[in-house]
């Protein structure tokens, strides 16, 4: 089974809807199980740099088949893979990347969300 364009577009829509509901502007990247782009969106007002971060979060999640925040535990200083975040063209090891799985558990791809710039003020808020 593979992630379809229609599914990727629905994920983008859901992420944008949630971001609007909590008052933030984000970039959202959807990758397939091979790490190739399926869909992308940068909301009006999202930081320009959030585009690359969202893509790297999704890529990190696909490569290691894990949520990005959980990868920090193995690459932080004095951990078994210290410096891992500097490999593969640069990984992101904080929250925002989540693997996408089929009902049977097969990896379909990943979503990466970054930005969290408020549409109302310049204060930062964490994305959901």
Residues in the chain predicted with pLDDT less than 50, given as ranges, are 117-128
Q: In the chain, where are the structural domains located?
A: 5-117
pLDDT of residue 58: 96
pLDDT of residue 8: 96
Query: In CATH, what number does 5-117 get?
Result: 3.30.450.150
pLDDT of residue 126: 35
Residues 6+ apart with CB under 8 A from 127: 19, 22, 24, 26, 96, 113, 114, 115, 116
């Amino acid at each position: 089974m593979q992630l379809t364009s229609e599914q990727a577009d629905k994920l983008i829509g859901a992420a944008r809807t949630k971001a609007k509901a909590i008052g933030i502007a984000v970039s959202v990247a959807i990758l397939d199980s091979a790490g190739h782009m399926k869909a992308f969106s940068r909301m009006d007002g999202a930081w320009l740099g959030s585009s690359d971060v969202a893509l790297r979060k999704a890529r990190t999640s696909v490569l290691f088949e894990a949520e990005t925040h959980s990868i920090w535990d193995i690459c932080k200083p004095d951990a078994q893979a210290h410096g891992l975040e500097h490999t593969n063209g640069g990984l992101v090891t904080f929250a925002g990347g989540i693997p996408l799985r089929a009902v049977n558990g097969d990896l379909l791809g990943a979503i990466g969300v970054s930005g969290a710039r408020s549409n109302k003020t310049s204060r930062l808020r964490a994305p959901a």
